[in-house]
């Protein structure tokens, strides 16, 4: 479909008409979408960043159980976008999915606030009448709490893949000027949500630990309601993707795979016309077996309405990113530690900034946010322009080079974390605190800053790189799926982290020995776990280098 002069190809306005370039999309429309995403991240991290503290505090779980529950919930929350993307790309579209998902999200946050309020009231009553050690919330309230957080995960599953893809849709990759803006969009997108996350870690975490958990969960609910209203205000300015020939993209991809398997023994021996021969030559050599989806039983080519070259190439585009997806999982396992064991480490250290103020342990994650907010402008305004001059590529370095660079910083962060943890254990031993887990170790909280900062730099490179890569390298109609594929990396990483923790906990806690993840961290060995993750990350990076070197970018991609 050719675009009329002054309109955007493949996009329509709110009423389904060709959309004018001058009055739609761009940074103006993207700002509405960024606003709702900042609010969503504020809400999500209002739960995830301090969830382990709530589980080990008001709900009374052990450190290992709480870490496993956090990773399981986080993994589910980052895999559900696959379902949300399917619904958006096949049925509702991104705009409607964002609205419905936001409503589910708000409902989950409301129920979570209620669960926290009732749990707090129950514990207050119990502690005033019984021994504190026997106080535990009723099963009904625990069930309500977990139902609420998983309802939030469902809302996030529809919200997360669509919002970022919808934001990217506001820039036309075919236009040279907008193509550069789109590359910058992913940088500033991550910058904006880092601001939201940092505000969570500074404000919400303090409210949760010092004022009220119910208030700490209720504020994000109100913020998300306001953000949804802001998002709706921009409805008339957005660019909406138009489906190609009205076909369901998942049906197109599925048909190619089924036909290729069915025709696996057929050969193109009877291509009658020059036009069909030309069409066959248009197919790329990579994943050549999929080309047979174009064949009829007699070896001739089927009609374009049944299966086209574009359908085959779109299927190949999805398969090409699988090796990159797999080799990025080790990075995601490291990423999962920042909101679990890093936080528990910080809780044992001297967190005083001034004599009367102690920093909440989860607030340490602001080091990641601040490093992101500092490094993104440096990367976008200094590194990219310099590398553009050297490489003559719109984005400076390629997306895969950016991802790999972040993996290196991630490995260094794990080495740093292991060395700092060894230092912490030695400080506990030297001060006779090995069996006094409640006593603060005389070691400054600032010792943890380097590992957090390195994680922040790694996130700017790898996470933003993966976002752009998975959005850019999938078919246009499946870009919500592309973002969900990126998110699923971190879902699998969280589940694998849970598996590692459970397996290691069982293997190291026998024969009267302390587990690597003992409740008393002064007797635990998180340093061993961090060295293990360093090794896994190095193996993953080696495999990543092998596959990334042979990766062929899509022709329309601005790399």
Tens-place pLDDT, residues 3-29: 455 777 777 887 778 888 878 888 888
Indicate if the pLDDT at residue 54 is higher than 90. no
**Could you tell me which CATH class the domain 8-246 is placed in?**
mainly alpha
Q: How many residues does the chain have?
A: 559
Tokens of 437: 């887990």
Band (pLDDT 50/70/90 cuts) for residue 2 is very low
In the prediction, which pLDDT does 558 show? Answer: 43
Residue 519: Cβ within 10 Å count: 16
| Spatial distance between the Cα atoms of 551 and 534, rounded to a whole number of angstroms | 25
Asked whether the beta carbons of 111 and 148 are under 8 A apart, the reply is yes
> What is this structure's pTM?
0.75
| Most confident residue range from 199-208, 417-426, 472-481, 513-522 | 417-426
CA dihedral 402, 405, 406, 410 (to 10 degrees): 170
Indicate if the pLDDT at residue 148 is higher than 70. yes
Task: Determine the straight-line distance between the first and last CA of the chain, rounded to whole angstroms.
Answer: 25
| Spatial distance between the Cα atoms of 399 and 558, rounded to a whole number of angstroms | 10
Indicate if the pLDDT at residue 483 is higher than 50. yes
Of residues 288 and 547, the one with the higher pLDDT is 547
Q: Which of 428, 407, 411, 406 is nearest to 345 (CA)?
A: 428
Give the phi and the psi of residue 512 in degrees, each rounded to 5.
75, 10
CATH 1.20.1250.20 domain span(s) along the chain = 8-246, 315-551
89 CB-contact burial (10 Å; exposed 0-12 / middle 13-18 / buried 19+): buried
Percent of the chain clearing pLDDT 70 (strictly above):
88
Indicate if the pLDDT at residue 353 is higher than 50. yes
H/E run at residue 287: none
In the prediction, which pLDDT does 275 show? Answer: 54
Of residues 132 and 247, the one with the higher pLDDT is 247
Asked whether the beta carbons of 166 and 33 are under 8 A apart, the reply is yes
Min mean pLDDT across 131-135, 185-189, 235-239 is at 131-135
In the prediction, which pLDDT does 185 show? Answer: 84
Q: Tell me, which fold does domain 315-551 have in CATH?
A: Growth Hormone; Chain: A; (1.20.1250)
In the prediction, which pLDDT does 1 show? Answer: 43
Asked whether the beta carbons of 237 and 22 are under 8 A apart, the reply is no
Indicate if the pLDDT at residue 193 is higher than 80. yes
Asked whether the beta carbons of 466 and 489 are under 8 A apart, the reply is yes
Q: For residue range 448-469, what is the model confidence (pLDDT) as tens digits?
A: 889 989 998 999 899 888 988 9
Asked whether the beta carbons of 309 and 281 are under 8 A apart, the reply is no
Of residues 4 and 222, the one with the higher pLDDT is 222
Parallel, antiparallel, or unpaired: how do β-strands 349-350 and 441-444 relate? parallel
**Inter-axis angle of helices 94-129 and 139-168, nearest 10:** 150
Band (pLDDT 50/70/90 cuts) for residue 269 is low
In the prediction, which pLDDT does 14 show? Answer: 79
Q: Which of 263, 273, 253 is nearest to 293 (CA)?
A: 263
Indicate if the pLDDT at residue 192 is higher than 50. yes
Mean pLDDT value across residues 62-88: 82
Q: For residue range 227-247, what is the model confidence (pLDDT) as tens digits?
A: 999 999 988 889 887 765 556
Parallel, antiparallel, or unpaired: how do β-strands 349-350 and 7-12 relate? unpaired
In the prediction, which pLDDT does 468 show? Answer: 85
The owner of tokens 């619904």 is 87
Band (pLDDT 50/70/90 cuts) for residue 325 is very high
CA dihedral 424, 425, 430, 431 (to 10 degrees): 70
* Chain mean pLDDT for the chain: 81
Of residues 557 and 528, the one with the higher pLDDT is 528
CB neighbour list of residue 244: distance below 8 Å, 6 or more residues apart:
1, 10, 476, 477
Band (pLDDT 50/70/90 cuts) for residue 533 is very high
Looking at residue 461, what DSSP letter applies? I
Q: For residue range 358-400, what is the model confidence (pLDDT) as tens digits?
A: 777 767 778 888 888 888 888 888 888 888 788 777 667 888 9
């Amino acid at each position: 479909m050719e675009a009329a002069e002054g309109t955007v190809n493949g996009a329509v306005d709110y009423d389904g008409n060709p959309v004018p370039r001058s009055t739609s999309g761009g940074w103006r429309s993207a700002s509405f979408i960024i606003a709702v995403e900042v609010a969503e991240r504020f809400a999500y991290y209002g739960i995830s960043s301090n969830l382990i503290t709530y589980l080990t505090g008001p709900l009374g779980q052990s450190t290992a159980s709480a870490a496993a529950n956090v990773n399981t919930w986080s993994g589910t929350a980052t895999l559900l976008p696959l379902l949300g993307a399917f619904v958006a790309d096949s049925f509702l579209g991104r705009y409607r999915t964002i609205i419905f998902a936001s409503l589910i999200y708000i409902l989950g946050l409301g129920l979570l606030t209620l669960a926290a309020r009732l749990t707090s009231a129950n514990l207050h009553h119990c502690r005033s009448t019984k021994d504190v050690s026997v106080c535990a919330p009723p099963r009904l309230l625990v069930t309500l709490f977990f139902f609420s957080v998983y309802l939030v995960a469902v809302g996030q599953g529809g919200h997360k893949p669509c919002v970022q893809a919808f934001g990217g849709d506001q820039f036309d990759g075919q236009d040279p000027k907008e193509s550069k803006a789109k590359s910058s969009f992913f940088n500033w997108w991550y910058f904006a949500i880092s601001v939201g996350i940092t505000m969570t870690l500074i404000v919400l975490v303090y409210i949760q630990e010092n004022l009220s958990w119910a208030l700490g969960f209720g504020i994000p609910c109100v913020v998300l309601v306001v953000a949804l209203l802001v998002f709706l205000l921009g409805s008339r300015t957005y660019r909406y993707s138009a489906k190609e020939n009205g076909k369901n993209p998942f049906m197109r991809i599925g048909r190619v795979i089924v036909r290729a398997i069915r025709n696996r023994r057929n050969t193109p021996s009877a291509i009658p016309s020059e036009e069909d021969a030309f069409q066959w030559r248009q197919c790329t050599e990579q994943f050549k077996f999929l080309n047979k989806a174009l064949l009829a039983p007699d070896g001739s080519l089927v009609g374009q309405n049944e299966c086209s070259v574009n359908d085959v190439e779109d299927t190949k585009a999805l398969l090409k990113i699988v090796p990159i997806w797999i080799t990025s999982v080790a990075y995601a396992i490291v990423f999962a530690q920042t909101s679990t064991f890093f936080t528990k480490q910080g809780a044992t250290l001297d967190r005083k900034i001034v004599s009367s103020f102690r920093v909440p342990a989860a607030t340490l994650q602001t080091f990641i946010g601040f490093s992101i907010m500092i490094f993104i402008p440096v990367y976008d305004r200094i590194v990219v322009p310099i590398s553009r001059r050297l490489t003559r590529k719109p984005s400076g370095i390629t997306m895969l080079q950016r991802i790999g660079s972040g993996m290196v910083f991630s490995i260094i962060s794990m080495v740093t974390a292991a060395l700092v943890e060894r230092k912490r254990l030695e400080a506990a031993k030297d001060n006779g605190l090995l069996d006094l887990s409640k006593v603060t170790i005389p070691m400054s909280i600032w010792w943890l800053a380097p590992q957090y900062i390195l994680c922040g730099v790694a996130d700017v490179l790898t996470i933003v790189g993966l976002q752009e890569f998975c959005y850019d390298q999938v078919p246009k109609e499946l870009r919500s799926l592309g973002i969900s594929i990126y998110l699923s990396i971190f879902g699998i990483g969280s589940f694998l982290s849970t598996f590692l923790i459970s397996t290691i906990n069982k293997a190291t806690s026998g024969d009267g020995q302390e587990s690597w993840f003992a409740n008393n961290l002064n007797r635990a060995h998180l340093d061993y776990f961090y060295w293990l993750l360093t090794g896994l990350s190095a193996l993953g990076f080696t495999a990543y280098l092998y596959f990334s070197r042979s990766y062929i970018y899509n022709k329309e991609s601005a790399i």
